[in-house]
Amino acid sequence: MKTKLLLATLLCFLPSGSPSAQTVDEIIKKTIDARGGIDKIRAVASERISGRVAFSQGLEGTVVLELERPHKLYSEVTVDGQKVLRAYDGKSAGWTVNPFTENKDVVEMSADELKEMPDESDLDGPLVDYKSKGAQVELVGKENSDGKAVYRLKITTKSGEIRSYLIDGATFLTIKWEGTRKVGNELLPWESLLSDYREVQGLKFPFKIDQGSPGTEYKQTLTVDKVEINPKIDQSHFAKPAAAQAATSATGSAASKP
């Protein structure tokens, strides 16, 4: 079995003119299969990810991310008893609550934020059915990343966002993506490293994600504690948060700390 795997890996990296060279769609299919296969991916109607986050400034907190088809999203990050909330109704409206900013009220997402939400809330990920989503994927080439042979795929989404995904040439799991992210009023280069893949109900998930903007103080590490497949999610999470409820959530979280 190990010999077959070694041979398969070597064949993946023959010169581009070889009949065994990988095409974009072949790499994408292998990536989808590595995650668990298209049928298992499409069988996921909802998902909840819970974990811990550590920021470069020394702050730590907890994270809960909930997704539900077709494009609903809810996230909360709790730091020092204060909750940063984001909610998207899956259609055309989204809101944020950030007690660490001057405006602590419920704020409607901007047009630019809303434009990115369908991609961010996509349960399947950008490679599944990318053509029907209006995206373009280009095989940039093969390279070395931290001692691993990887394929670099360039993805241009329907919204115009451009990202590069590095696909491990041996496992065909995504180990890194590179792009940009708006932090405050700045558009910064951003990268996310995915590792510690584990299987949950036949699907592979990264249980550690290191991300940030190279050369800046913006760095954070997410450690996943639990992945739930098809949990029942409170539908009020995807609606506009009530300011009073947001304040109560923050107070309650602080009160529950040991």
Pairwise CA distance, residues 222 & 220, whole Å: 7
Q: Where are the domains of the chain?
A: 24-255
What does the pLDDT read at residue 182?
Answer: 80
What does the pLDDT read at residue 54?
Answer: 96
> Tens of pLDDT along 78-122?
999 999 999 999 999 999 999 988 888 999 999 988 988 999 999
Identify how many contiguous H helices and E strands the chain contains and give both numbers.
Answer: 5, 13
The domain 24-255 is classified under which CATH number: 1.10.10.1100, 2.50.20.10, 1.20.58.220, 3.30.565.10? 2.50.20.10
Long-range CB pairs of 249-258, under 8 A, 24+ apart, other chains included: 249/76, 249/83, 249/85, 250/81, 250/82, 250/83, 250/99, 251/81, 253/78, 253/81, 253/82, 253/83, 254/80, 254/81, 254/82, 255/81, 257/81
Q: Do residues 245 and 217 touch, judged by C-beta distance below 8 A?
A: no
Over its length of 258 residues, how does the chain's per-residue pLDDT go in tens digits?
Answer: 434 433 333 333 333 333 346 899 999 999 999 999 999 999 999 999 999 999 988 899 999 999 999 999 999 999 999 999 999 999 999 999 999 888 889 999 999 889 889 999 999 999 999 999 999 999 999 999 888 899 999 999 988 889 999 999 999 999 999 998 887 778 899 999 999 999 999 999 999 999 999 988 889 999 999 999 999 999 999 999 986 444 444 434 333 333
Query: CB 167: neighbour CB atoms within 10 A?
Result: 24
